[in-house]
């Protein structure tokens, strides 16, 4: 099992086009760890904002009576993909998600989703 920092660094190196990655607690909106980002991508702001996205989707699913789990949420911008992957509730994974920002001109979205799923499986939080 990989610790948070190791897993986040792995995402940045293993996923082509990765701009930044964060592990986020969506009950508080706080980033528990970040790697990458920069002046054009503030990962702590992104963590808080994407917490609202996750909460809204969970609430909508409840209103619709959907008895399913969110695997991931994709937001496509003009030049970036933003991927939100909710962690499956093993021991303490419930309430956490991985947030990955990708340069869409360099990234292979299918491979990024596959790699993020592998990283999640190895993550020890």
For 26-39, write each residue's pLDDT tens digit. Answer: 889 999 999 999 88
Higher pLDDT, 19 or 1: 19
Tell me the C-alpha distance between 45 and 63, whole Å. 28
**Confidence class for position 89, pLDDT limits 50, 70, 90:** low
Angle between helices 4-14 and 109-122 (to 10 degrees): 160
Higher pLDDT, 15 or 91: 15
For 43-61, write each residue's pLDDT tens digit. Answer: 999 999 999 999 999 999 9
The answer to whether 122 and 4 have CB atoms below 8 angstroms apart is no
For 68-83, write each residue's pLDDT tens digit. Answer: 989 999 999 999 999 9
**Token couple for 13:** 């190196």
3-state secondary structure (DSSP) of residue 60: helix
For position 95, what pLDDT does the model report?
Answer: 87
For position 2, what pLDDT does the model report?
Answer: 67
């Amino acid at each position: 099992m990989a610790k948070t920092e190791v897993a986040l660094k792995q995402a940045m190196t293993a996923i082509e086009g990765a701009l930044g990655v964060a592990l986020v607690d969506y009950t508080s909106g706080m980033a528990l760890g970040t790697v990458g980002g920069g002046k054009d991508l503030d990962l702590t702001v992104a963590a808080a904002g994407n917490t609202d996205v996750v909460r809204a989707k969970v609430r909508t699913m409840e209103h619709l009576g959907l008895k399913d789990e969110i695997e991931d949420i994709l937001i496509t911008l003009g030049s970036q993909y933003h991927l939100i992957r909710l962690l499956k509730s093993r021991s303490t994974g419930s309430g956490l998600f991985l947030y990955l920002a990708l340069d869409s001109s360099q990234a292979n979205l299918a491979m990024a989703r596959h790699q993020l799923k592998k990283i999640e499986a190895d993550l020890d939080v």
